[in-house]
Amino acid sequence: MRFVHDTLPQRVHFASGEAAESLTAEIASLGARRVMVIAGAGEREIAERVTSGLPVVHRHDDVVMHVPVEVAERARTAAAAHDADVLVSIGGGSTTGLAKAVALTTGLPIVAVPTTYAGSEATPVWGLTEGSAKTTGTDRKVLPRAIVYDASLTLSLPAALSAASGLNAVAHCVDSLWAPRADPINRALAAEGVRALRTGLPMVVKEPDALPGREQALYGAYLSALAFASAGSGLHHKICHVLGGMFNLPHAATHAVVLPYVLAFNGTAAPEAEERLAEAFGTPSAREGLARLRDQLDAPRALRDLGMPSGGIASAAEAVVAAAPADNPSPVTLPAITDLLRTAWEGAEPR
């Protein structure tokens, strides 16, 4: 066995119902005195509840998916105007993403309180959009210093959004198994992530108001993000990045639709990944495990239902082939990717 693995420095608090206490402890340990809270309008009430004991100098609710550059600029200006010395982000990946955009240029530390299963809080990856072009990059400055996981804050996330967001997390795990920097550590994290998510997500959809499923799902989402941060983007993430940028599709639902097609495409050429996933799903094959989970979650099935135009398949396929990792288990050819995208667009059986 021979590998090089980076472990990222970050404290993780995990305790349902204790976000306020964990945040107070974290802000004190950072020695911060001027908190800028970033939370979208939908998460305002949650944010006010968990930050009422903090020295807040500004509450910023101007959050937009995929972090348009002008939205990032406004948040940076607000951080400077209020002389903030720490950012507390409370929300999904879009909110964490905005805090990262501020940290990127100001160096301010972030304490992230996630309320979806997107996992951005555990990665040093930032993203900004200008028009229809999304740029991403990696910078240790944007990695939150601490994460506060409180599953009670996810109880309000509707079942359908929870399912899509949870499948986004499953996709982090699956893609990590063949991504460019896959190693034994991130493969182990990914397998445990799949186990936790396939246990927790059906419980969430069945009983959205109960904590045990939410806790399993949030724990699995964290592991999935660690695996993804360490292994990098595999074919699945490259496809979703292209589709999201070209057609402005909803992030989590796009991942949820595309994953079974990439698993079918790569699985037979990656027998070790297939075996590990089957074991984590607790089913005879990985494809069966994912199909069963998707059925239980009533997952979105077709790219056309998300608003992708059929006329976009050819240009998207070309962009995917150009962006795909060179060492993907199955050869990434234009006919193969065109076929994959057409099948995913129709929502037909994965081949």
Considering only 50-58, 89-97, 289-297, 303-311, which stretch makes contact with ligand NAD by CB under 6 A?
Answer: 89-97
Instruction: Indicate left, alpha or beta for 37 from its phi (over 0: left) and psi (-120 to 50: alpha).
Output: beta
The single-letter code of the amino acid at 5 is: H
The only residue of 42, 68, 208, 347 in contact with ligand NAD, by rule CB under 6 A: 42
CA 23/CA 300 separation, integer angstroms = 35
**Which tokens belong to 109?**
């530390």
Residue 234 engages ligand NAD in binding (rule: CB under 6 A): no
What is the closest distance, in whole angstroms, from the C-beta atom of residue 62 to ligand NAD in the complex? 13
Q: Of the two residues 57 and 320, which places its CB atom closer to ligand NAD in the complex?
A: 320
Cα 206 to Cα 189: distance, rounded to the nearest angstrom: 26
**Token code pair at residue 292:** 């069963």
CA distances from 324 to 67, 249, 328 (A): 24, 20, 7
Taking residues 93 to 132 in sequence order and writing x for each that binds ligand NAD by CB under 6 A, - otherwise, the string is xxx-x-----------------xx-xxx--x-x-x-----
Pick the stretch among 6-14, 17-25, 151-159, 311-319 that binds ligand NAD (CB under 6 A).
151-159
Which residue stretches of the chain are H helix? Answer: 19-30, 44-51, 69-81, 93-106, 159-176, 184-206, 211-231, 235-247, 251-267, 271-281, 286-297, 313-323, 334-346
Count of beta carbons in the 10 Å neighbourhood of residue 158: 9
Q: How far apart are CA 242 and CA 344, in angstroms?
A: 14
Provide, rounded to whole angstroms, the least separation between the CB of residue 150 and ligand NAD: 10
Give 222 or 345: the residue with its C-beta nearer to ligand NAD. 222
Binding ligand NAD (rule: CB under 6 A), the pick from 11, 33, 58, 66 is 66
- Does the footprint of ligand NAD cover residue 325 (CB under 6 A)? no
Measure the CA–CA gap between 292 and 61, rounded to whole angstroms: 38
The reply on whether position 156 binds ligand NAD by CB under 6 A is yes
Nearest residue (CB) to ligand NAD, 147 versus 278: 147
134 or 276: CB nearest ligand NAD:
134
Residue 202 in contact with ligand NAD, rule: CB under 6 A? no
Does the protein bind ligand NAD through residue 92 (CB under 6 A)? yes
Q: Coil, strand, or helix at residue 186?
A: helix
Residues in contact with 253: Cβ distance below 8 Å, sequence separation at least 6, in sequence order: 164, 300, 306
Q: How far is the CB of 125 from ligand NAD (least distance, A)?
A: 4
Q: Which residues contact 151 (CB under 8 A, 6 or more apart)?
A: 16, 211, 214, 215, 217, 218
Q: Which residue is nearest to ligand NAD (CB)?
A: 93
Q: Looking only at residues 162 through 191 of this chain, which bind ligand NAD when binding is defined by CB under 6 A?
A: 165
Considering only 40, 200, 289, 300, the residue that binds ligand NAD (CB under 6 A) is 40
Which positions lie near ligand NAD, rule CB under 6 A? 40, 42-43, 65-66, 91-95, 97, 115-116, 118-120, 123, 125, 127, 153-154, 156-157, 161, 165, 251-252
